[in-house]
Amino acid sequence: MPSNQVTQAAVNQHEPSNDMTSSVATISKVATIVVEKVNALPSETIRWPLEQVEALFDLPFNDLLFRAQQVHREHFNPNELQLSSLLSIKTGACPEDCKYCPQSARYNTGLEVERLMRVEAIVEAAKKAKHSGASRFCMGAAWRSPKDKDLRVVEEAVRQVSELGLETCATLGMLNSEQAASLKTAGLDYYNHNLDTSEDYYKEVITTRTYQERLDTLEHVRSAGMNVCSGGIVGMGETRTDRAGLIANLANLPEPPQSVPINNLVQVPGTPMDNVEPIDEFEFIRTIAVARITMPGSYVRLSAGREEMNDQMQALCFMAGANSVFYGEELLTTNNASVEHDRSLMATLGIKPQSLS
Ligand code: SF4
């Protein structure tokens, strides 16, 4: 049986039995088979055909969460969260037209434009993030792609932030292979570049760069030996098939991204996506669970939109397999949950921050 059929067979069988112990053992075994088969696939194989990802979305809610939690426990401590802190190091005036983004120069959102920060100021912010408990420091700049002189500044910041004992991540727009290699040499651990949505829905969201250009950047990052951080945004008016398409495209990359941020659109007045119909909360949780099952070894990050979620919703996202959050009161240009509130929620749920080993 081809590997992907084995994977599907594993997904389709083993309905929960009355005997919880044997059910847990069986599903645990199935999850192991799935992962072994996935890991054995040649990189060009489609691990998760779209129909199989859609089939996961269609599962009864409890079955989906149960399976996601089983896969999660096979790979991670379910009571640990990876905490990343995100700083906008250059804000606004971006030439791109991403319809959700207040940083695009094309939309009038009242955003204050800020030039690239000085290295000292970036490192100061990184020290504060570390002090608050973050283990990864992400630097975001609103560029189509970085200019060489700006890249040198970011590289110096990466060197100094790494020396603090933090993991480093950057999101600077499209990269060519030389830029990716140069960031790797500076010590950058992760590079973020989201696919955003399905290839079909993409044209409704962005017209100034192609889906293929995004895939090319991810390839350059991977080839340079950096970890890939790539996910998307839901609640942009896309269909469930689009959400499944996004997850399938991520899961079928030559290697699944090491980090998968799932964002719930934060609607910003002045952007074309202000006032779109928000995604149903259960559908958002399903998206997290499907990401967890299809990318079992990846950190799935509950990203933008968390401030609008109540504690119960966040707890369900963690149950569905989210094991990373942005930590800190601002996410680039939108608000995030407060550090105090996050600490209190983690204490209530018995969740501890993951430390760097
Ligand atoms: S998402 Fe990034 S590339 Fe798109 S407009 Fe915003 S800052 Fe620019």
Percentage of residues of the chain with pLDDT beyond 70: 85
Determine the pLDDT at residue 37: 40
- Whole-model pTM? 0.83
The protein residue with its alpha carbon nearest to ligand 1, atom 5, reads: 104
Question: From the CB of 142, is ligand 1 less than 6 Å away?
Answer: yes
Atom in ligand 1 nearest the alpha carbon of residue 206: 4
Q: Which of 47, 67, 136, 169 is catalytic?
A: 169
Report the 10 Å Cβ neighbour count for 18: 6
Q: Measure 16 CA to ligand 1 centroid, in angstroms.
A: 44
Mind listing the pLDDT tens digit for each residue in 297-343? 999 999 888 888 999 999 999 999 999 998 875 555 556 667 788 88
Determine the pLDDT at residue 83: 87
Q: Considering Cα of 263, then 266, then 267, then 271, what sign does the dihedral take?
A: negative
Question: From the CB of 205, is ligand 1 less than 6 Å away?
Answer: no
Determine the pLDDT at residue 322: 97
Q: Measure 140 CA to ligand 1 centroid, in angstroms.
A: 10
Question: From the CB of 98, is ligand 1 less than 6 Å away?
Answer: yes
Are the CB atoms for 319 and 65 separated by under 8 Å? yes
Question: From the CB of 172, is ligand 1 less than 6 Å away?
Answer: no
Question: From the CB of 103, is ligand 1 less than 6 Å away?
Answer: yes
Determine the pLDDT at residue 357: 57
The residues that bridge with 332 in the sheet, in sequence order, are none
Among residues 239, 244, 255, 263, the alpha carbon closest in space to that of 295 is found at 255
Is the per-residue pLDDT at 210 higher than 50? Answer: yes
Determine the pLDDT at residue 329: 59
What is the rounded average pLDDT of the residues 227-251?
Answer: 97
Q: Measure 103 CA to ligand 1 centroid, in angstroms.
A: 6
Determine the pLDDT at residue 342: 86
Q: Which of 98, 136, 222, 317 is catalytic?
A: 98
Supply φ then ψ for residue 235, to 5 degrees: 85, 25
